[in-house]
Amino acid sequence: MADFVLGRIKFVWKGSWAGTTAYIADDVVRYGGNAFIALANHTSSALFETDLSANPTKWQKMFGGVEYKTDHADATYYKVDDIVKYGPTLWVCTTAHLSTSAVLDTTKFSVFLPGL
C-alpha cells in the first residue's frame, strides 16, 4: 500500500479566479482556458492581468488552454487565449481587452484557424 505524506500535497483548487479575493501560495485557479498557481500570498486585484504583471509575479501558468467564446462581439471582455469566430475564421486573443466595436481588432488577435 502506498504511503501518503500530507505535508507534501500542496496544491489547493480554488475554482475560477475572482477579484478582491485572498489567495495563498499554491492555490490553483482557472482563468479563461488556463490554470494558474499562486506564487505568493496576496489579495487579488480587480483585474487578473494586473496580478499577472505584478513584480514579482503573483501567478504562474500551470496549464495552457483556450476558451471558445463564439462570435466576436462589441462590449465584450476578452482574455488572452480566448477563441472567437469572426467571418469564416477563428481568432485567438493575444492582448486582454474590452472590445469597442463589432469589428475584430486584428492588433489584439491572431489567426487561430483560417476560414475555409
Enumerate the H helices of 1-116 as residue ranges.
Answer: 48-52
pTM attached to this predicted model = 0.78
pLDDT at 7: 63
pLDDT at 43: 95
Quick: pLDDT tens for 40-58.
999 999 999 888 888 778 9
The answer for residues whose C-beta is within 8 angstroms of residue 14's C-beta and 6 or more apart is 23, 27, 28, 29
pLDDT mean across residues, the chain? 91
Q: Are 53 and 69 in contact, with CB atoms under 8 Å apart? A: no
| Structural domains in the chain, sorted by start | 8-63 (2.10.10.20), 67-113 (2.10.10.20)
Quick: pLDDT tens for 72-103.
999 999 999 999 999 999 999 999 999 999 99
pLDDT at 111: 97
Percentage with pLDDT > 90 across the chain = 80
